[in-house]
Amino acid sequence: MKRIVFLCVAVCSSFLMAELLPQGRFVGEGIANGWWRDAPDDHQGTMKVVEVDGRQAQLIHWTGRGKVGIYRTSTDIRGIRPNANYLLEGWVKADSEWAVFWYEFLRNREYLTHVPGRDAKTDWRKLSLKIKTTADCSYFRISLIARNPGEPIYFSDFSLRCLDDTPEVRVPLLKEAPVQDADWAKAVQLSPFVTLGKDMKLPDVTTQASVAYHDQKLYFKILCHEPELDKLKLNQKSFWDNDTIELFLATNQGTFHFGITPDGKSLQRKILPDTARFFKDWHSWDFIREADENLKALDWIASATRQPENNAWIAHATIDIPKQIIPKNKVCKLQLGRSRKIGDTQQNSAWCRTNGEFFLEEGANGWLWLPHEPDDVKPQEIMSKSLIEQLQEKFVVPAPQRQTTGSKAITWSDSPKVFFDASCQKSFLVLCRVFNHQFGIEPQKVGKPEQADIILTLGDVAQDLNLTPWQHHEAYEIAAEKQAILKANTTRGLACAIQTMRQLCVRYDDQVAMMQADILDWPNMQFRGWQLFAPDTQQFMDDAFKVIDTLAALKFNWIAIQIDDRMVYEKHPKLARENAPTKSQHREIADLIDLYDINPLPMTQCMSHFDFILNKPEFRHFAEIQNPDPKARWKFWNYCPRHPEVHKLMFDMIEEQLQCYPKAKLYNVALDEITFEPIGVCDRCKGASGGELLAEEINILHEFLKSKGISMAMWGDQLLVEHNGGEPYNTAQALPKIPKDVIIFDWHYNIGNSHKSVKFFRDNGFQLVGNGWYWPANITTFIDEIKRLNCLGFSGTTWKPIEFIRNSHHLMTAIVLAAERTWAVDKMPIEKINYHTNNVFRSLHDPYQPGQPSKFLTYDLSNWFNVSLRGGGNNPWMGLSSEHGAEAILSAGPLQWFSLIPFKLETKGNLAAIELKDDVNAIRQIPINSKAASLSFLHTASVSKVASPLMHGDHSKDPQKLGYYIVHFDDGSHEIIDLYWNKTISAWNSQVGATVANVAWSSHTQSGARVMFGVLTWRNPHPEKTIASFDFVREFDSSYPVLLAVTAEIF
């Protein structure tokens, strides 16, 4: 039987022994999720998760030593409490030298090193170390180490538990009563045991307990290691004077006390909730408890066997659990103790820590979350929305200039038939790519228009409108009645038409459909672009393609690609960073951009930001400052513009870039932030003003690009006195000395309405493109000013790696908003946008997910509710006052649809949600008991007072993982769904939501504060299995999660 693993970063709860390596969640080169390869790059070896001797294990095999260092994998564990007791346990098997280091990092960044174990060759060996953290403890780092190259080392079943926490376990529901070891392998362990009292030590011998549930019975197996079996105290006059295992099971009808001795004797007692203790004599601590005569005893069976060959004895207990004694939430309390009596010595240890010398005391118990039987669960079955209902919710971003929608749908097979002539061949390729991505289908070409579902054609569009040539270039119309006829003046216009149609279509069963519609559309801004970094390495090429596809879907018509060292140059290969994309891969990027008839805009940092080159020793001689001040923030920032060889290098780079992007009409030479480092200080430049040096550089680069038939663009900050062009270098003085056909990319990241430079550059005879930031207030005001002054257009900037975009809620919002506002500036003011920008980005970026839900199961969570959606009063929403409540979400009734998913919004008195806060760290065993293709969670989180709202802010104090859902299958396996800040969950007052979860609903509190909830949909990787239940677990952080509802999707 395969054992379930083991090392998970959650330490707030002892559930699942705070597993540090959950099964099946592996990344990178086979390192378990949450861990990383913590070794120098020049070390050779293998790290992967393998099965060995029936265990899942982390293999570390160091085969070749580098210069320095050791070979290890590590994980950081946050949320550690100061002055608390922690226990780390695990198993190691090795054929060479190994070690496990446990680092305790302090707030001053110093650390203490604890060593659970180190050795050489060993068979499976258990490690166990308990520590008490210091008052300054911040977090842990655990490292699994190969100390020298040699044979493989296996690490398995590592767990970390805070012994000060109340332990809690989910008791699995077994299909049969556990008899064999394979059956007990599916049970949950109750360990470790610690000695009684505040000192909390590990006992001299270990006790391992397991518990499972079947047919309304609890099954216990307790393995008591005992090297002195022959000395055990047995046959004493008082049952409790014997060597004993004791169980205290607290239910809603009282506490039941069970005892088992090594020779199989057993006893059950009933204890009042406020039971009194009565001493038996004057000289010992032996006592008896008051019993409740009205509390009916539970049926149970106990047995014990001795195993001298294993130095152990085993106790078994089966306890009947009638439904009437268990609360509706299926939670009961348990204390499990061992009173080891050898001769005249006695040592008491227990599963739950105690403050005194008794097993049973206030708070000295753990939580058993019992499983729900199938008949306990009564979800409401809801059919999915009809085709017409789904189509009526479709909309287009950016919004078309003119659109009328009919009341009927037109449908096609999952291979729609397309008619077009040779002039539209490229448009057909766009249609194929878009439909395959969005719907997972392949359109088919047909030879006659009457056979077609979709017709692509070129012809006169919007000729009766007073449009400019560039507007006619992208104008299109769609006439969809029985067929969808897409018509445009150019293939670029047809590409825009296809992107509009894809947003109006849905895939329903084996069909693709859209509502009847007539659309006439054109843009209001000539230049609509976005600046991207080229992929840092070849592994991110797919990310680049997806982002380009998304920008195309939003009808951007320029894409800037900043290349720098992100390409392998043929003439100067040492310029490239490690594993940079090749020229052929850049041509693939250019081909995709061209497929959509988008203009490519290659870009490289010239003169400034040149540290990516100057930091390489072979190019250091180009630096303006050869020996920068060690304290300087910017070092090797600028090349010397008068170096006799530097422009040959730059021209070689630009030429090779243009070879990859042959359709480029414009090239951005950057030239921004030059004065971050002193200029005019080397022997060649000394005596020249900043204005002279910048003007020289601009003219040299302009002349070269002009000779190639390419127009030149540059950033405008060094040409503005109020930006970076003033004292002491006065680079703004270059402005009168540069060609007027240089296009200025004027960047400003302020939130206000001050964009005076737009008029300044225009009045000085320059064409201008505004370049904004990710703030909505920056984007909208900047675009308005550009439109008012009739400038070329607007381009957003990223300044993050291209693979980062899909994981940035800031950039996802900015891209969608910029697309909306630049296409139809006057049609969709920001205050009228009634969709959620991140939802739009995801719908266009993420690939098609096969399967259409036929029905949903909505679940009633009210048994677990502990917080109101109203502020003020009892159990207030987020602990806030009445004017900050979120009760408005309930106004539409108990059944509501969000993101095409129904949710049951129940209330129980004034309670309406599950809040994991204060002493509520988890809710276990919320029943599902159904097969499902996915689960969707309607949830939110509290506002973090320390999180930075800025994309480039200090995020060191941001919440990280707020918690997780654990989905349990009926075969005993499980999957974990992490709740990461602004990824899978966001705060109720978030402006734009998370990157993975959809924004489900948003409104305002009575005070006017924005309030929102998100929907996180988890696709079940095992739809053939029955989902038994799920757990909702919190991690200690500066924000906590709140769950309102859950829905299962049935395909």
Q: For residue 280, what pLDDT is reported?
A: 73
Phi-psi region of 1029 (alpha: psi -120 to 50; beta: other; left: phi over 0): beta
pLDDT tier for residue 884 given thresholds of 50, 70 and 90: very high
Task: Say whether pLDDT at 536 is over 90.
Answer: yes
pLDDT per position as a tens digit, 86-107: 999 899 999 999 999 999 999 9
C-alpha closest to that of 818 among 433, 498, 531: 531
The angle subtended at Cα 370 by Cα 365 and Cα 371, nearest 5°, is 165
pLDDT per position as a tens digit, 537-555: 999 999 999 999 999 999 9
Task: Say whether pLDDT at 531 is over 60.
Answer: yes
Report the amino acid identity of residue 225.
Answer: H
Contacts of 116 (CB under 8 A, 6+ apart): 88, 90, 100, 102, 127, 128, 129
Question: Cβ distance 969 to 928 under 8 Å?
Answer: no
Q: For residue 844, what pLDDT is reported?
A: 96
Q: Which class is 387-521 in CATH?
A: alpha beta
Contacts of 757 (CB under 8 A, 6+ apart): 716, 720, 722, 723, 746, 748
Task: Say whether pLDDT at 825 is over 80.
Answer: no
- Residue range 317-334: mean pLDDT, rounded: 89
* Cα gap 582→587, rounded to integer Å: 9
Q: For residue 610, what pLDDT is reported?
A: 96
pLDDT per position as a tens digit, 182-201: 899 889 999 889 999 888 88
Q: For residue 65, what pLDDT is reported?
A: 76
Output b/e per residue, 989-1024; b: 16+ Cβ within 10 A.
bbbbbbbbbbbbbbeebeeeeebbbbbbbbebeeee
* Cα gap 940→914, rounded to integer Å: 10
* Cα gap 171→169, rounded to integer Å: 6
For 1006, the token pair is 């009575």
Cα→Cα distances 869→873, 913, 921, 1012, Å: 11, 7, 19, 12
* Cα gap 991→381, rounded to integer Å: 33
* Cα gap 408→391, rounded to integer Å: 10
* Cα gap 745→670, rounded to integer Å: 9
Q: For residue 27, what pLDDT is reported?
A: 36
Q: For residue 769, what pLDDT is reported?
A: 97
- Percent above pLDDT 70 for the chain: 95
Domain 15-162 has CATH 3.40.50.2300: no
- Residue range 416-433: mean pLDDT, rounded: 97
Task: Say whether pLDDT at 10 is over 60.
Answer: no
- Mean pLDDT of the residues in the chain: 91
Q: For residue 289, what pLDDT is reported?
A: 59
Q: For residue 753, what pLDDT is reported?
A: 67
The reply to whether domains 168-371 and 527-845 share a CATH topology is no
- Residue range 111-117: mean pLDDT, rounded: 96
pLDDT tier for residue 6 given thresholds of 50, 70 and 90: very low
Task: Say whether pLDDT at 295 is over 70.
Answer: no
Task: Say whether pLDDT at 557 is over 80.
Answer: yes
With 0-12 / 13-18 / 19 or more C-beta atoms within 10 angstroms meaning exposed / middle / buried, residue 278 is: exposed
C-alpha closest to that of 567 among 559, 558, 576: 576
Q: For residue 485, what pLDDT is reported?
A: 98
Angle of helix 583-595 relative to helix 646-660, nearest 10 degrees, comes to: 50
**Least confident interval from 22-31, 94-103, 356-365:** 22-31
Q: For residue 273, what pLDDT is reported?
A: 58
Which 3 state secondary structure label does DSSP give 960? coil
* Cα gap 889→897, rounded to integer Å: 11
pLDDT tier for residue 287 given thresholds of 50, 70 and 90: low
Task: Say whether pLDDT at 429 is over 60.
Answer: yes
Whether cis (ω within 30° of 0) applies to the bond prior to 178 is no
Phi-psi region of 626 (alpha: psi -120 to 50; beta: other; left: phi over 0): alpha
Q: Which class is 527-845 in CATH?
A: alpha beta
Q: For residue 510, what pLDDT is reported?
A: 84
Cα→Cα distances 7→48, 138, 172, 499, Å: 14, 20, 20, 46
Cα→Cα distances 948→113, 939, 957, Å: 32, 21, 8
Question: Cβ distance 455 to 419 under 8 Å?
Answer: yes
Whether cis (ω within 30° of 0) applies to the bond prior to 262 is no
Task: Say whether pLDDT at 754 is over 80.
Answer: no
CATH number of the structural domain 168-371: 2.60.40.1190
State the pTM of this model: 0.84
pLDDT tier for residue 221 given thresholds of 50, 70 and 90: very high
Sequence ranges of the domains in the chain:
15-162, 168-371, 387-521, 527-845, 855-1050
Q: For residue 11, what pLDDT is reported?
A: 35
CATH number of the structural domain 855-1050: 2.60.120
Task: Say whether pLDDT at 251 is over 80.
Answer: yes
Instruction: Specify the pairing of strand 244-251 against strand 217-225.
Output: unpaired
- Residue range 13-29: mean pLDDT, rounded: 38
Write 204-209 long-range contacts (CB < 8 A, 24+).
Answer: 204/340, 204/347, 205/340, 207/338, 207/349, 209/336, 209/351
pLDDT tier for residue 179 given thresholds of 50, 70 and 90: very high
Task: Say whether pLDDT at 285 is over 50.
Answer: yes
C-alpha closest to that of 972 among 377, 379, 371: 371
